[in-house]
Amino acid sequence: MTRPHILILHGPNLNLLGRREPEHYGDMDLAAIDAMLRDLASELGVAVESFQSNHEGALIDRIHAAQEAGVGGIVINPAAFTHTSIALRDALLGVEIPFVEVHLSNVYRREAFRHRSYLADAAVGVIAGFGAESYALALRALTQYIQREG
Ligand code: DQA
Ligand 1 centroid to Cα of residue 10, in Å, is 10
What is residue 26's predicted lDDT score, i.e. its pLDDT? Answer: 87
Q: What is the pLDDT of residues 58-73, one digit of tens each?
A: 999 999 999 999 999 9
Is the CB of residue 92 below 6 angstroms from any atom belonging to ligand 1? no
% residues pLDDT > 90 (the chain): 92
Chain centroid to Cα 17, Å, comes to: 15
- Average pLDDT score, the chain: 96
Q: What is the pLDDT of residues 2-28, one digit of tens each?
A: 789 999 999 999 999 999 888 889 899
What is residue 11's predicted lDDT score, i.e. its pLDDT? Answer: 98
**Nearest Cα residue to atom 1 of ligand 1:** 79
Q: How far apart are the first and last CA of the chain?
A: 11
Is the CB of residue 80 below 6 angstroms from any atom belonging to ligand 1? yes
Between CA 8 and CA 90 the distance in angstroms is 18
Q: What is the pLDDT of residues 96-121, one digit of tens each?
A: 999 999 999 999 999 999 999 999 99
Q: Per-residue DSSP letters for 65-96?
A: HHHHTT--EEEEE-GGGGGT-HHHHHHHHHHT
Is the CB of residue 59 below 6 angstroms from any atom belonging to ligand 1? no
Ligand 1 centroid to Cα of residue 2, in Å, is 33
What is residue 1's predicted lDDT score, i.e. its pLDDT? Answer: 53
User: If we measure between CA atoms, which residue out of 87, 91, 80 comes closest to residue 16?
Assistant: 80
What is residue 68's predicted lDDT score, i.e. its pLDDT? Answer: 95
pTM of this structure: 0.97
